[in-house]
Structure 1
C-alpha cells in the first residue's frame, strides 16, 4: 500500500484509527472458547464491528506466538480474513524485531511474504544493516521505534548526545532518514509523550507516525494531532485494549464498536480542522 492509498482511506473513512488485536484467550468471551479457533473468531467479530471505522489493524505477535503453532494459525487466519473481505485495510505486524542482517532478512520474508502484512515494527538499535532487509520490499513499510509509550522509555531514548545536542530518539530518526524514505518508512511515537512530537516532526516532517498509547494508557488524541498531523494526516493512531476489551460479555462487539466510533468521531473533527476532508 502506498502513502497516497493510505491517505485516500483516511479521507474516505474520516479516520486514522488503528485497532490493535492484542488477543488473549483469558480475556475473550467464554462462549468463543468452544470454537475451533477462538482467537480468530474473536478477531473476526472485532473486525466486522469496526472495519468501516478503522484504516488499520495491528497484530501484536507476542499474543499469538505464546500459543505456538496454533497461535500462528490464528494470526494467519486473521490476516487472510482481512485480505479477503477488507483488502483496503492496512495490516501491521507488531513484532519489534531487531537482529543482524541475515536474521532480519528472514523476519522480513516471514512478515511480508509468508504472512502478507503491509508493515512491520522494527527496533533500530542494531543499526542500518539490521533494518535494510525490510526496506527491500515494494509497497511495504518498516516502522522504526523512536519514542515508545512505556513508562521506562527514558532509560535510553531521551539520553542526550553531547556532541550534537540531540536525544537518542532524534539520532535514530536523523540517521535512519538516509536508509529509506517517507514512502516506505514510519516511526513509532507514543501518545503518552506528546512533548516529543515536535522534535520528531522537525526531523521527519512528512513521514507517517504510528501512535500507540491513546485510550487506556492515557494519551491525548488532541495533543497528538496538534503536533503530529501533516497535510496527508501523517498519523495512524492505535487503540487496543480500550476497544477490544471494552466489554467481554456476549455483546462485546457492540461496546467495541462504540469505543471505535467515539475515536473515529474525534478524528473526523480533527481532520476537518486541518482541512483534509
Structure 2
C-alpha cells in the first residue's frame, strides 16, 4: 500500500483512525476465557465493530509474544482477519545490526505479511535500511514519542541547539521516502508536532497519546495534517476496553465512531 492508496481510504472513510490491538488477557471479558483462542475472539469482535471507522490496525507485539507460541498464533489469525484494504502495523519497535534487522523484516513482512513495522532509529542507518528494502512495505520510525521518559533523550540539544529528535528526522529522511517511511510522533505537545511536520512535510505520522495520555486530536490535526492528511491517530485502551461485558464489541464500535466523526470534521477544516 502506498501513500495515495492510504489517503484514498482516509477520504473514503473520512477517518484517520488507527485502532491499537493491545489485547491483555487480564482485561478481556471473562466469558471469552471459555473460547479456544480468547485473544483472537476478542480481536475478532473489535475488528467486526470498528472496521468501518478505522483505516489501520496496530497490534502491539509484546502483548502476543508474552503468551509464547499461542500468542503468535493469535496474532497471525488476527492479521489474517483484518480486511485487506486496511493498513496493518506491527508495533514491534525493532532495530538491531543489519543482518539481524533483515531477519526481523523478513519475519514481519514476509512470514506474517504486515504492511509496516515500528523501528527504533538509535543504532543508525544500517539498522533501518534492511526494513526499507521490501517493496510496498513501510518503516515507522520512532521520532518523538509520548511516553513519560521521552524527554530523557529525545529533546537533548546539541551544541548548535538542535534537539535530538530533530537530528533523527533530518538524517533519516535521507534513507526513505514518503511512500515507505513514516514517523511516530506523540500527540502530547502540539508545538513539537509542528516542528516535525516542518522537517518532513510529506511523510505520514503515526500519532499515539490522544485520549488516555492527554493529547488533543484538534492539535494533532492543526499542527500535523499534510496535503494527504498524513496522519494515523492511534487509540488503543479508549476503544478496545470501552466495554467490559458481552457488549464490549458494540461499545468499541461506538467509541471508534465518535472519533471518526471528530476526524471527519477536522479533515474538512484542515485538509
Q: TM-score range by the shorter chain?
A: over 0.9
1:103 equivalent to 2:100? Answer: yes
Which residue, out of 165, 189, 214, partners 1:218? 214
User: Who is 1:74 aligned against?
Assistant: 74
User: For residues 151 and 267 of structure 2, what CA distance do their matches in structure 1 show?
Assistant: 31
Aligned-residue offset at 1:153: 0.5
Which residue, out of 133, 155, 158, partners 1:158? 155
SS of 2:54's equivalent in the other structure is: coil
Q: State how many pairs are aligned.
A: 271
1:129 equivalent to 2:126? Answer: yes
Structure 1 stretches of 5 or more lacking a match? none
Say whether the 8 Å CA contact 2:109–2:116 is kept in structure 1: yes
User: Who is 1:62 aligned against?
Assistant: 62
- Detail structure 1 runs of 4+ shifted over 6 Å in the superposition: none
User: For residues 152 and 141 of structure 1, what CA distance do their matches in structure 2 show?
Assistant: 26
User: Who is 1:49 aligned against?
Assistant: 49
User: For residues 208 and 41 of structure 2, what CA distance do their matches in structure 1 show?
Assistant: 24
Q: Any residues of structure 2 matched to 1:194-213 within 5 Å, and which?
A: 194-213=190-209
Query: What are the Cα deviations for residues 18-45 of structure 1, in whole angstroms up to 9, with x where unaligned?
Result: 0000001000011111111110000000
User: Who is 2:40 aligned against?
Assistant: 40
Instruction: Tell me the C-alpha RMSD between the 2 structures.
Output: 0.7
Aligned-residue offset at 1:193: 2.3
1:145 equivalent to 2:142? Answer: yes
SS of 1:55's equivalent in the other structure is: strand
Say whether the 8 Å CA contact 2:222–2:270 is kept in structure 1: no
